[in-house]
Amino acid sequence: MRPESRSEGKGPWFLPGVATACLLALGMPGHVGWWPLLLVALVPLLLAARSVTPGRSARMGFVCGLLYHLSLLYWILIVLGRYGGLPWWLSLPALLLLAAYMACFSALFCWLLSLVAGSVRRRGRSVALLVWAAPVLWVGLEYLRGFFLSGFPWMDLGYGLSGQPRLVQAADLGGHHLLSFCLVLGNSLAVGLLLRRGRTGRGVFRGERSLLTLAVLLLVGTFGYSLARYQVMAGELPGAPQARVAVVQGNIDQAVKWSPATKEATVARYLALTGPMLREPKPDLVVWPETALPFYPQRDALINKIVDFTTANNTWLLTGAPLVNSIARAEGGEQFQFFNGALLIGPDGKVGGTHAKQHLVPFGEYVPLRRLLPFLEPLVVSVGDFTAGTSMAPLELASLRLGLLICYESIFPDIARESVSRGANLLVNLTNDAWYGRSSAPVQSLAMAVLRAVETKRTLVRAANTGISGFIDPLGRVSARTAIFTEAALVAPVAMLDQSTVFCRYGYRFGLVCLLLIPLLLVFRFRNGR
């Protein structure tokens, strides 16, 4: 029997994938979120991927990804079933399809890793190749998943450290992808040292020890930078310019949110919650969540009640609202565009600026390929047909320059980075997490928002309809937060920084570099395999 056959025949082939999926599910933010598990979670998968054929490795990776993403994305059933009105026999397949799509990336990772650094076809392969190939492949595919088919970078591995401010500051160098890289590198280094320890003839691979030492130095240097950066910034923040900001969480039931009969009660609730926040010292800005106004302000006289409130209290209000724009047709008549947007109303009652969401939710705010697939037209009626905004310019009031992230735009680093590059000194995330119910999704959404603050070194203010609302400082510390499904209002001083981070200038390319290195790894493998 061939050596590889004996290796592949030890135990059920899917067990390493199941083990890694369980460790990741327990380690990532959510119901458990015990982050130290992430330091070893990938070890079973990496060990197995090295010792089996690429085909079997891919199947194992798919099982791992499928189980992990089912545990991560189970809230899709709540979104589609409870609030979307779909029966279980449609919402369950939708969850399975999304999890299977995500699992394709982990399958591709395992296939490539086995192909590039596996030992089945070539027993004498250096463990250093596995140690360095694993993080490059993982992060390159993470980056690809972030934009392929409009992108869905939900809970990339680096977000698992979001609750540890002292460990994540290196994100201002290479973004959350750098944290993912280091976590995978730590796992692959542990595997490499285990394999090296059990092998004779350690000096046979030239430079192997140096490459393993370099991996150790990179990990020590990255997390050493994080610790030092944390100490420096913690000392600087108290002396930074401050603004007082209030966030209001209306806790409006999603089932009645868009009912015309309840829109006046919704506005009354927000005004009642906001009033006590306006006592001295008065906040510089009040923030309401995504679509806090369940009507088009340009078309509804109810907006006058809000304008009267801002003028009477001499305050600035930023609120989420659907917006409409009319465009004159060349042949006559009008064409209307609808946006998921935000409205800034000043103390004089005038509109100080508007902003439209740029990254829309597929099949939630627009239907992809609508013109090519006319049979999807009925779906447009049920989910809406919003137009994506194009401007990333901050909204300005006094010394505040607001970079807006509406809904799940907070999971896309480039939107926050571009806003800061255009001058934003405060990030504001308006969202409606009511869709998620009492699941782990609001916790995961908050975890991803934390990294936007750290990467850009900007305070992030988060206003959510049903929570979690709160304040995240430039170090990623959540200074105040609400519980979910409660009415709440918070006010706090926030730091306004203007410094530009390495991530904002160059570091956002880190994931792209890893993706471009994948073809080079394949070339290296095939040249060495001859």
Secondary structure element (H or E) that encloses residue 286, with its range = strand 285-287
Q: Minimal CA–CA distance to 493: which of 482, 511, 480, 506?
A: 480
**Annotated catalytic, 142?**
no
Q: How far apart, in whole angstroms, are the C-alpha atoms of residue 118 and residue 223?
A: 29
**Annotated catalytic, 257?**
no
Catalytic choice (110, 357, 455, 504): 357
Catalytic choice (110, 142, 257, 290): 290
Q: What are phi and psi of 475, to 5 degrees?
A: -90, 0
Q: How far apart, in whole angstroms, are the C-alpha atoms of residue 366 and residue 431?
A: 17
Give me the sheet containing 334-345, strands edge to edge: 351-356, 334-345, 317-328, 285-287, 242-249, 488-495
Q: The tokens of 280 are what?
A: 């001295």
Q: How far apart, in whole angstroms, are the C-alpha atoms of residue 480 and residue 470?
A: 5
Q: What are phi and psi of 42, to 5 degrees?
A: -90, -5
Instruction: Concatenate the DSSP letters of all residues of 153-195 into one string.
Output: -TT-GGGGGTT-GGG-TTHHHHHHHHHHHHHHHHHHHHHHHHH
Q: The tokens of 105 are what?
A: 């990336």
Catalytic choice (182, 407, 504, 514): 407
**Annotated catalytic, 290?**
yes
> Active-site positions?
290, 357, 407
